[in-house]
Amino acid sequence: MHTSPLKRREVLAGAAALLVRPPASLAAASLMIVTPGQTEGPFYPLSFPVDMDADLVRVKGQAARAMGQITHVSGRVLDRRGEIVRGATLEIWQCDANGIYNHPRAPGHARHDRGFQGYGRTEVDAAGRYAFRTIRPVAYPGRTPHIHFKVHAPGLGRLTTQLYIAGEPQNATDAVLNAVRDRAARESVIVRLEDASDVEPGALKGTFDVVLSL
């Protein structure tokens, strides 16, 4: 059968396009690193504060705002194909600027910063995004700076993990962080903070996308 040279070129070009362009979902699947699960630790709240919104820097009824450097942490909740997870809820908790958790079993609890909420909860928006206003986490004895996260996707799954700050010297020796043996997974929970003066004076911001094993 005779095929014109032009037609054959078109057929070959079409075949090549199929080879180099996998379906979008397959391409994404090979890119997403599932966020590793990490211990909840001992300081998840026993009872939730009256004020538990996504702004941990201001506590209702407290005149002073939290001590520490204001830090905006935001991102998306995704599945392993890179699709947004609708309806996901996120909780965070962390110690105050002096390394004290608002938890009855926390060392120094009586001295915790009353202006720091310590725990916050939010839901992703229609675009799968969340945002918290909190403080830059600080080190406390035995731990590099970190923020605890719990992510709950109703009917789909949940994840407990921790976020770390790029450039912190104690990251290299932190037992919890280094229990994540896979290097790419470990790096996926280390967030680079940058200046956020455009958002508010003296603040920092960082992006943390949570990828669920869905």
Which residues of the shown chain bind Fe ion in the complex (CB under 5 A)? 41
Cβ of residue 150: shortest distance to Fe ion, in angstroms? Answer: 13
CB-nearest residue to Fe ion: 41
Chain centroid to CA 207: how far?
Answer: 7
- Decide whether 80 or 186 has the Cβ nearer to Fe ion: 186
- Decide whether 37 or 41 has the Cβ nearer to Fe ion: 41
- Decide whether 34 or 163 has the Cβ nearer to Fe ion: 163
Cβ of residue 45: shortest distance to Fe ion, in angstroms? Answer: 12
Cβ of residue 146: shortest distance to Fe ion, in angstroms? Answer: 6
Cβ of residue 111: shortest distance to Fe ion, in angstroms? Answer: 17
Cβ of residue 141: shortest distance to Fe ion, in angstroms? Answer: 11
Cβ of residue 152: shortest distance to Fe ion, in angstroms? Answer: 19
- Decide whether 44 or 84 has the Cβ nearer to Fe ion: 44
Q: Check: CB of residue 133 under 8 Å from CB of residue 54.
A: yes
- Decide whether 128 or 137 has the Cβ nearer to Fe ion: 137
- The Cα 179–Cα 197 span in angstroms is 35
- Decide whether 41 or 45 has the Cβ nearer to Fe ion: 41
